[in-house]
A = this chain, B = another copy of it.
């Protein structure tokens, strides 16, 4: 049996008031739920729409003690250096550890997939 690093993962997207913009994040979340169940994953938005990180953490089962926040971002800017860490600091307590992971765009497999997508449009397969 593999090591289960976190009890729960929160996918955190930037947020937009545009419902169409939210669709791919919802689709990613729905697939995570299909694989792992809604006990193990949530979707939250940093701003401009709900649920917020506070909403999602407030609804976690009290048995959950170790949570990861995985930003659905390509890059770390002010939001992930300042705003989100401050939100997380306010939400953590002695029973609940919340780790902020690097953004999903920084994942080696995701980066490799992006290179391959670019190559394909240029008519070259890697």
The interface of chain A, by Cβ under 8 A from chain B, is: 2-6, 9, 11, 13, 16, 18, 20-25, 28, 31-32, 35-36, 40-41, 68, 70, 72, 74-78, 81, 101, 104-107, 109-119, 121-126
Contacts and interface: CB of A to CB of B under 8 A. Distances in A.
Q: State how many copies of this chain the complex holds.
A: 2
Contacts of A6: 121-123
B124 A77 contact: no
A22 to B, nearest CB: 7
Nearest to A125: B2
Contacts of A4: 122-124
5 contacts: A2-B125, A6-B121, A20-B75, A25-B75, A35-B126
